[in-house]
Structure 1
Amino acid sequence: MLANGVRYSDSSHRREPCGLRHWRKDPRVGIGIQVEGLTKSFGPQRIWEDVTLEVPAGEVSVLLGPSGTGKSVFLKSLIGLLRPERGKIIVDGTNIIECTAKELYEIRTLFGVMFQDGALFGSMSLYDNTAFPLREHTKKKESEIRNIVMEKLDLVGLGGDENKFPGEISGGMRKRAGLARSLVLDPQIILCDEPDSGLDPVRTAYLSQLLIDINAQIDCTILIVTHNINIARTVPDNMGMLFRKKLVMFGPREVLLTSDEPVVRQFLNGRRIGPIGMSEEKDESTMAEEQAMFDAGHHDGGVEEIEGVPPQIQATPGMPERQAVARRQARVREILHTLPPAAQEAIRDDLEGTHKYQAHEFATQEASPRGRHDDDAPTGVIPTVDSPTVETRTVER
């Protein structure tokens, strides 16, 4: 649901997930999440109130917001770790706020969670960390567990690293190990709590590609909480933002990326001028002082204003086509007339293949041996380029 009350249309599709090496047929598609009027407080402190949105099934969505707006609290509420005071969270037809403990346990099996710090057990190998949910929640034989664990480690580019311990590997590898563990129970919904935390921009780019590739392979619903604007601009099908205890908006990525809301523009461009301050928000006098400094020639931080909607990351060549793309196109066509004009134009450009955006093309080079064995590269199909020649061009889609 958009903040203006427009709902997504329901759809039902089949999915055909695959690993990097093997295809498997599965009749399921990721499950959507409906949130209605959700309100959460800690004692007298209100975290957010009356949050209403719908996370579309099988698509990738991102939730943005300044620090302290309760994004992680929102994720924990979705899986029943925290209980909101009011509202509904409907997953697979069940309102998890009112369901029994047994029903909640069953609903949780639909989720996989990628925690902010990886949450790996330091005394366990990557193999045992990944196998842990299977040993705790299933009665599978060890031979079955091994097959599943090795498949998931291979899926995230950690095949051959199963005997390493968390302390022996890089932060990027720990993130991917946490992602592998979140996949072993074949979830239909994956929640990612700031997956880029602690990663440099290059490793973040690899992780972004990996999340898109996983969506292409298993057609799961993915919800990402992040501060990273590059992830927000290029990864999701849908975007939302929390601010001042409210959901500012949620809907197709073009709605937020073309929005002229001051808080959205400030956040996307990382500037001081705007409603967001060090303590989340600021009063009018502070905003006036900052504007006066800017008008006097002081730099306001951030980047040059970024206009337009960049192309969305596509699945790596050789991966199955993302089924979410066709579903999303059908859905946005139905709601197009309800969206702001700038978002409508961006969506039409995308649907008609006339989308233009400045991008960089890197000259093809042979990767160095070190580059080919980069521990933080998720898969061998994504090349590492040592010293690219950069050519600016206009991309037409």
Structure 2
Amino acid sequence: MKTLPLEGIRIIAVEQYGAGPYGSMFLADLGAEVIKIENPKIGGDVSRQTGPFFLGENDSYFFQTFNLNKKSLTLDLKSDSGRAVFEKLVKTADAVTNNLRGDQPEKLGITYDKLKHINPKIVCGHLSAYGRDNDRASWPGYDYLMQAEAGLMSLTGEPDQPPARFGVSMIDFMTGAVASLGLTSALLGAHRTGQGRDVDVSLFDVALHQLSYPATWYFNQGHVTERLARSAHPATVPCQLYKTADGYIFLMAMTDKFWHVLVDLLDDATLKQERFATVAQRRDNRDLLTTEIDRALSAHNTDYWLEHLKGQIPCAPVLDLPQALQNPYIHDIGMVRTVKHPEKHDMQVLGCPIKVDGQRMAGKAAGPMGCDTNDLLGSLGYSADDIANLKADGAI
């Protein structure tokens, strides 16, 4: 690919761990120069030391997962000389993004109000736990807490079991993606008007927003959506796990059209009864319909039904982690990419889900902490002696 959509965009990322790095990695994949600021006094991004699997000294598979295609600049933003470097960098940048606690951007001076005199076009993105403008601004917070308080855990799992979290940190990932959308939108505005701004996204707000239509139902009709057995959809039937001869299959006949196709493919007289004819009737008879579909599907194993139904009824196998990652389909579509790392020349990671001109972007491993420091400082006009003095002061 000769050019990428965000080529020429420079983004300074004051970030660590999951949500912020996940979001800014999309920007790096799409061609932006993402300069990751890593504090030399604490060993850089804490996820470099997040185990249990490491890649030499001060690097880990966890860190690599969220930091492909980025540059690393060691910089102590709290030191005077480090701040001077930062401000020179801001002059050359299009955006500054962070995922700090809500009260920290103001203290570190990385808000638009603090930076606009340096670069009026600078966009400042803030990803925090609870936002910067309320009484929780100073609270630390993590994904699982948001799932709990936003009501998502109450909707996850089987009805007779304790509330459950998602299997991965989905709120971190959703918030990172939303933050990058907000930042990109503000960048477009700044390039059009010459005026930068602040853009705020919080884990809690994004988690709450995922309640989506159950929230609308509750606000306007007082309806309380509850967990249903086998991960069933709250309104559409059949849409859940069903038993086969050797396990489960997930079926989603979300419309009358798909229902009629399913009935024809299963060729079962009981399913053709009038009481299952409409969406409302199928919902009213959910338990009975589950029993009848289980009976019909139990005649054959899951592989048989996947082959029989594929392309005609939305359906999927229920795979465990190894099965999902060994699925030939994900390799066929390029969702596994190999990147070179000094400690592992054939490191495999997941591919970017965004395609540009029909192609997925290439991956480049994240380098050692501060690997781009000298080059970046040199481009800002710092001499070798200047850089040596900054290192001696502990600023880089």
Q: What is the TM-score normalised by the length of structure 2?
A: 0.24
| Higher-helix-fraction structure | 2
